[in-house]
Amino acid sequence: MASADRKPKGLADHCPMRVEFLIDGELSGTVLARFPELDSTRGPAGGTALFGSVTDRAHFDGVLSRFRDLGIAVVEFRQLPD
């Protein structure tokens, strides 16, 4: 299981980049509002997929911090093609 504390190696070399975070379960509208830069859709196996662009390492770290602060475990992280 992936952790929101893990960071992809070489992230700075790939920014800006499109990303996807897979979350187990559904997120409320209130929680989704905490991620205005990400769109959401129903993920595989009934989870939630959040996707969008991060501009740099600080932005990526900020998104991960919000997941952690809200107690949301990221099941999987993917870098999406441009």
Specify if 18 maps to a domain.
yes
Instruction: Tell me how far apart the alpha carbons of residues 32 and 6 are, in angstroms, rounded to a whole number.
Output: 21
Q: Please state the pTM of the whole predicted model.
A: 0.80
- pLDDT exceeds 90 at position 13: no
Kind of pairing, strands 48-54 and 74-80? unpaired
pLDDT of residue 1: 46
% residues pLDDT > 70 (the chain): 83
pLDDT of residue 18: 94
Specify if 49 maps to a domain.
yes
| Structural domains in the chain (count) | 1
Per-residue pLDDT reduced to its tens digit, 37-58: 999 999 877 899 999 999 998 9
> What are the residues whose beta carbons fall under 8 Å from the beta carbon of 80, sequence distance 6 or more?
17, 18, 19, 20, 51
Domain span at 33: 11-80
Query: Residue 39 in contact with residue 52, Cβ under 8 Å?
Result: yes
HSE, CB side, 13 Å, CA atoms: give it for residue 36.
0
Locate 71 and state its tokens: 């107690």
pLDDT of residue 44: 77
- What is the CATH number for 48? 3.30.70.980
Specify if 2 maps to a domain.
no
